[in-house]
Structure 1
Amino acid sequence: MFGSVSVNWWGVLVATVVISVLAGLYFTVVVAKAYAKAVGHEPDAPAPSGPLFIAGPMVCNLVTVLASAVLVSALGIDTLGDALVFGLVVGLGYLVAMTFQIAVNPVFARPLLYGLVNGPYFLVASLVTSASLVLVG
């Protein structure tokens, strides 16, 4: 099955850029105050900045997109419908579930809120990634 894997590099590039921009907008504009509250920061405190906080999420997105690209190819997913089902399975079954699992940790001020704030981004990112991998390239 994995011997015939062919990564759609254009799809990987597009998905990585799109979900990284989406993350920047989502976490700095849409849910900035709720995110700060979930992690125990003051809502109006400035967000951390620097290369780690810019490049780190993009590198993590790239790794996630590459893993999805390998699975999409290995599973022979080539239609938008199948890609969206795959995106839902990965998004809900792995990404959202792991977000809540990570949040159930004593360092998070409000674990349930953390999961509720982060989960939608990861679900949408998984759907965008899966769609990009079959539509682009």
Structure 2
Amino acid sequence: MMAQSGHEWAAVCLFYSAHHLVKRALLLDPVFNDPTAMTALGITRQAQHPASHTGHTRSDGGRLFGVNDLVLKLYKPIDAPYQRLSQASHQVRYQNGFRGGVKGLQKLEQDLASIENLSAANALQGPMAAPVTGGR
């Protein structure tokens, strides 16, 4: 529906809709209750509340993850559509604008729909550590 307007700022709205779905997924993701899984993924509990879109290395050598980093690390099925939405939003806000026209916006709407569908099914969850099996 937004795509029909042809207005490039629709890309920003579409991205932030996806962004908030990912932030919701991070808050609900059981991976953050599993220290073994977090260690295997190289994340800490702090990653559940990212403060930026992209991460950076701290002065002590540790890593602060951004939302985009966590999507790649935890939610691979939505990485490509999420990154397309992020890039389009960045183009509008900080570069020369989104040049995809109505067709490009329609693709971004499809990208958001794929994220919405997985979110509605509670399917955005990080990979959990394999259960410990066997004896002593």
TM value normalised by structure 2:
0.34
TM value normalised by structure 1:
0.34
Q: Higher helix fraction: Structure 1 or Structure 2?
A: 1
Give 1 or 2 for the bigger CA radius of gyration.
2
